[in-house]
Chains A and B, each alone.
Chain A
Amino acid sequence: MKKVFVVPNRYMDSVTLMGIAVRLQERPEVHSADCGMGTRQNMELLREEGYTLPEDITKNDLMLALECDTEEQLKAAFDAGMSAMMSGSGNHERVYHDVSELEDHAYDVLQISLPGKYALKEAYKAVDKGMDVFMFTADVSLEEERALKEYGRDRGCLIMGPDAGVGLLGGVAMAAGSIVRRGPIGVIGASGSGSQEVACLIEDMGSGVTCILGTGGRDLKKQVGGISMKADMKRLEDDEDTKLICLVSMLADREIMEEVLCEADRLTKPVVAVFLGADEALYQRHRVVGTYNLQDAAKACLRLLTGAEPKIGWSEEELDRLAQECLCHFIGEKKYFRGLYTGGTFAEETLITFRIQAPDTLVHTNRDNTRYAVRLKTHKQSEGHTLLDMGDLDFTAEAPHTVFDPAQRLQRFHQEQADPEVGLIAMDIILGPGVAPDPASCYLPSMKERSDIVYVCAVCGGEGDPQNKALIKEKLRQAGAIVADSNYESARLCARICQKLEGK
């Protein structure tokens, strides 16, 4: 049966109306559909097709001419047409203004990057809904962090952060994290790039991870008490797919680290730990396999799982030979190393490596923690050997974090290249779906142009990251850079070069 529905006084563009007619015709019960304004021509066309038109249609009225088998189908099709007119492109999702507006059980995780004073309130609403919380936001006090983590723990919700930059849940990368192959290792990381590096190296060496749980950079402080790290360990102990747990952190409060290691003692699964900057004493009375750099942590995981010795990095001979070759570039005034790091943990790991492997080399840094180096007078100007944490507040107050936009580091890169005393520049390149889509290309032209300087790079990323890790490594090599297997290898090489510069 044919029927013309009239919507008086409703103007619609003819092309839009054609689109609606097409959508209606896709419905199986609609034999034909025509939509148009009540112009003389349109009315003629409909009459020719056998439709009977009401008398009083004007050119400002809308006509929906439909052919179906039953009245009900006609009405349903008409309703669908009206709905299509109101609902835009059809992709219109419900708009939420607030966590409390989310339907129950519709979402598992809330990822927050609002300013601190707003983020907390929303996080509590999420926990009330039984959601896990991933909080990139950092400006939350330690007391507030503790209170939120206790609240979450009591309700069985994961609180990842505040100040969590990296996470991987069910194969989905959070914030600035990488997409890493699934495998049997569960990574729990306090700081961002540390856990990202360990997980990516695990993938490089042939295995994978069940998750990367970011606890945030301050979880192991006294006032917070390691609530998240402890809760995460319990979760992974109970997770049937996780066969081995790896803890990643910078050095933190002694007591809290002790408590965490005691917790680890109580688990049945093997645990590897790296607390960057720790000494043997920390791990001594515990069952964890203690390591001292991110690469060794990853290697320890593989070793425990497979029983085989994983292949990564340069042998001692290879390293020495490579360093010697690099030394040839240090002619004329050239004598200094400049390290420009996106990842705070990479900066720390490099400083520690220098301290151990190039003890005669005096390094300057902008980092607050200067156990291993001397504080720069100003972050704007390098002095002697300098290692910069570009994620530090000094830099991020002036421009977007390098991991999201390379512009700031590119500028500093050129500044270092222009310094005639610089012979060696090291950089980390971080990949992931939530960071700069092209983090490396910008350096290539001047790298090629200034081939008189030695460049050492390490790329931290997963195979699944959109930036194409293999291609980036290849391009860096073509531009003349040495691409190390990991940040630790990069630090090793730079430290060896600096030792040789001291004549050692």
Chain B
Amino acid sequence: MDVKQRIAEANQQAAECLTENDPYWVDIRPAGECVEGLEDHMILHSGPPVNYENMVMLHRRGMVSAMLFEGWAKDEKEAVEIIRSGEIKIDSALNYNTVGAGTGIITKSVAMNVIEDRRNHTTAATFPAEGPVFQGGFCGWGLYNEGIAENLRYMREELFPPMREMLAKNGGIAIKPILAESMQMGDENHTRQTAADLLFDKQVLPELFELDLPKEQIMRTVKYIVETPRFFHCYGQGASRAAAIAADGMEYSTMVTAVAGNGVEFGIKIASLPGQWFTAEAPMMKGRYTSTKYTEKDQLPWIGDSCVVEVAGMGGIAAAASPIVCNLRGMTLQESIAQSREMENICITRNPNYVIPNLDFDCLPVGIDIRLVLKTGICPAIHGGMFSYEGGLIGAGMARVPMECFQKAMKAFAAKYSDRK
């Protein structure tokens, strides 16, 4: 079998990890118990690896927040000293079976949603939404203060126990049917998961009410679920991550398994070269700001791992499913459809689970192939939220993964697999 055939077969299998996946939300556990390799005195962050000195302010702030939260330092000054002394291990969340949206700050004691993929036999941990008041808070924006600390405790000790009890009873909530149905209801599951939230609520709320617990306690959890915007976002990310992990290490596959930014650099990983990042300067997203007082000057280049959903064929790939999200950027319905059609040119196959009315009931493309990106010059379109330098969401938009990432990945692939050495 020649190398091209091997690659084609490997890519088919890698893409099947994404399309045949079977993710379930099964538990909520401390990160140290469900993220393999996450030890004491270790902090994970979003995007490709970056050291403390080179981090953007949001990440550095997040490092300090993590130290304070875990009690590894008593104040900011001490936190920075300890970090600089090298005592703290700092790494990319996407080098582990987890994913970090926004700043993606994860340490061993935070409670994480556990997503178990029963077809791929993988598990991914994903940070739960921090409630209607703090929203991004600790993990998303790298913030830490009394209010956030109290909120984290509150979630851990008050809100999550009923959910855990429900999960123990029902054996887990299936994520994929929710994603599939929501994709036909106007969600692309990156910037918008309104339908997914409602489908989740419809399933989960009755089960919560059936628990033998005081009504007030159940209601606190219910309110947390229904009042938190974009509640379902982390489940889509977790499901995508668990599927992508399954493709890691697939020899000969040129499929992209990770896409993420840290405000400085943007990086991708590919299935056949696990552990290796291929980076370029992080792009600026283009879109709409939540207020006219914001301009690009206020904006941070891409930061966050949430584009794990694009790896799995949602978000920017699924633009046709969500013209409303595209309309934020002034795009018409036809242009939204054209964006998904454009993505067809760089993907390995179609995902039979996502049948999209706006595409004339074609299935969405899935599985980004670096070779096709290089051949066509079409870079994957990623949807997401725009962050300000100060922290906080200031808008939503789209960016393209830089071509340089794919060029580097291709060269590394050739270094490993080329006969002509």
Contact = CB atoms under 8 A, between A and B. Distances in A.
Direct contact, A vs B (beta carbon within 8 Å): yes
Interface string A248-288: 00000000000000000000000000000000000000000
B181 interface: yes
Contacts of A418: none
A16 B353 CA distance: 12
Interface string A64-86: 00000000000000000000011
B181 A91 contact: no
B73 interface: no
B352 interface: yes
Contacts of B22: 9
A4 B99 CA distance: 39
B174 A60 contact: yes
Contact of B355 (A59, A60, A85, A91): A85
Contacts of B184: 13
A97 B176 contact: no
Contact of A10 (B345, B350, B352, B360): B352
Contacts of B363: 86, 88
A458 B180 CA distance: 57
B223 interface: no
A59 to B, nearest CB: 8
B346 to A, nearest CB: 12
Interface residues of A, number: 17
Contact of A89 (B174, B177, B180, B360): B360
A12 interface: yes
B20 A9 contact: yes
A88 B360 contact: yes
Nearest to B24: A60
Interface in A1-53: 9-13, 16
Given A9-B20, A13-B355, A86-B350, A60 B177 contact: yes
B360 A9 contact: no
B89 interface: no
A92 interface: yes
Contact of B359 (A9, A60, A85, A88): A88
28 contacts: A9-B20, A9-B22, A9-B176, A10-B352, A11-B180, A11-B181, A11-B353, A12-B180, A12-B355, A13-B181, A13-B355, A16-B361, A59-B177, A60-B174, A60-B176, A60-B177, A85-B352, A86-B363, A87-B362, A88-B359, A88-B360, A88-B361, A88-B362, A89-B360, A89-B361, A91-B360, A92-B360, A97-B345
A269 to B, nearest CB: 49
A89 B360 CA distance: 6
Contacts of B329: none
B360 A86 contact: no
B119 interface: yes
Nearest to B355: A16
A1 B173 CA distance: 36
Contacts of A88: 355, 359-363
B352 A86 contact: yes
A88 B344 CA distance: 14
Interface centre among A11, A85, A88, A97 (most CB of B within 10 A): A11
Contacts of A16: 355, 361
Contacts of A11: 176-177, 180-181, 353
Interface in B180-223: 180-181, 184
Contacts of B361: 16, 88-89
Contacts of B362: 87-89, 92
A95 B347 CA distance: 14
Contacts of A13: 181, 184, 355
B136 to A, nearest CB: 30
A295 B362 CA distance: 52
Contacts of B360: 88-89, 91-92
Interface centre among A87, A88, A89 (most CB of B within 10 A): A88
Nearest to B351: A86
Interface in B336-369: 344-345, 350, 352-353, 355, 359-363
Nearest to A7: B352
A96 to B, nearest CB: 12
A13 B363 CA distance: 13
Nearest to A85: B352
Interface in B318-348: 344-345
Interface centre among B177, B184, B360 (most CB of A within 10 A): B177
Contacts of B353: 10-11
